[in-house]
Amino acid sequence: VGVAMGNATVCALSTSGSPVCWGYDTSGLLTEPSGVFTSLAMGPYSACAIKDDESVSCWGFIDGGTPSGPAKKVALVDRLQCVLKTDGTLACTTNSTRYNKGVPPSGVFKDFDLSGESGCALREDNTFACWGDSQYGQYNTPTGEFTSMLDMKSGGFAALKSDGSIVRWGNYAGSNLAGPFVTASGFGGAGLCAFTEAGAMTCSKGSTWSGYNAIMSSQPAGPWYAPSLDTTGNGYCDTPN
């Protein structure tokens, strides 16, 4: 994505591919690596980005070291970093005992996501393999034909189906969304905002906490460029058309 948000820090990729971060300098997050990058992701206190040579650079509070590439996707949660390698396998790093169940599954996958203290990965045959915490039903995965997994928070998961609809499971699963949508991203409490090809946005909260009503009631009208939304529990960040 072009922009990602941590606990109190934001990082974005410039038009030249350089990461630029601002906000609170947690564990050195404002000391960005040099080079040309194609995508980035953030945890609460850490960031990782994939370079144009498919290697991975991580900075901030990286517990367990940087996962090895070559990689085509990276995702982070607190004290856990994982990559989807170019051969379709997963690699993760952590030193935290919170993730002692967090060994990623073996096999070849086309996408994955980390959320809360869990991970789920999408196989080429459209089945899922999940690992880590299961207290919110994260292992009760849906069936169907899926194109990608969506960036979610707080132990919730979601996937985009081939017909453009969105299916959710795990913490505060909420309602599925009919679409058709082209992308979506989650905010705190396992809610999400989804976008149509025309740039219209639809948001659906997961948690019943009343604070998320502010996100639901204050959605800007758009339309939006091909969105790369990344959200926290307090709002969202994107570029209006």
More reliable by pLDDT, 134 or 97:
134
Is the confidence at residue 38, as pLDDT, over 90? Answer: yes
Helix (H, G, I), strand (E, B) or coil at 107: coil
pLDDT at 216: 46
Nearest to 10 by CA among 28, 39, 30: 30
pLDDT of residue 8: 86
Residue 97 DSSP SS3: helix
Tens of pLDDT, residue by residue over 48-68, are 999 999 999 999 998 888 999
**Nearest Cα residue to 190 out of 128, 120, 129, 136:** 136
Cα–Cα distance for residue pair 177/71, rounded to 1 Å: 30
pLDDT interval class at 96 (50, 70, 90): confident
The whole-chain average pLDDT of the chain stands at: 82
Cα separation of 44 and 161, whole Å?
29
Residues 6+ apart with CB under 8 A from 212: 187, 188, 189, 191, 205, 206, 233
Question: d(Cα 221, Cα 174) in Å, to the nearest integer?
Answer: 23
Q: pLDDT (tens digit, 9 = 90+) per residue, 173-205?
A: 667 888 899 888 776 655 778 888 888 888 776
Cβ 65 vs Cβ 48: under 8 Å: no
Q: From CA 39, how far away is CA 45, in angstroms rounded?
A: 18
- Least confident range of 11-20, 111-120, 162-171, 177-186: 177-186
Q: Please compute the mean of the pLDDT values over residues 72-83 and round it to a whole number.
A: 92
For residues 157 and 168, what is the distance between their CA atoms, to the nearest angstrom?
Answer: 6
CB 108 within 8 A of CB 130: no
More confident residue, 110 or 179: 110
Is the Cα dihedral 96, 62, 110, 160 positive or negative? positive
Tell me the pTM.
0.83
Q: Are 21 and 47 in contact (CB under 8 A)?
A: yes
3-state percent helix, strand, coil for the chain, nearest multiple of 5: 5, 45, 50
223 compared with 204, residue with greater pLDDT: 204
pLDDT of 206 = 60
pLDDT in tens, 129-152: 998 888 888 889 999 999 999 888
pLDDT of residue 101: 54
Flag whether pLDDT at 227 surpasses 70: no
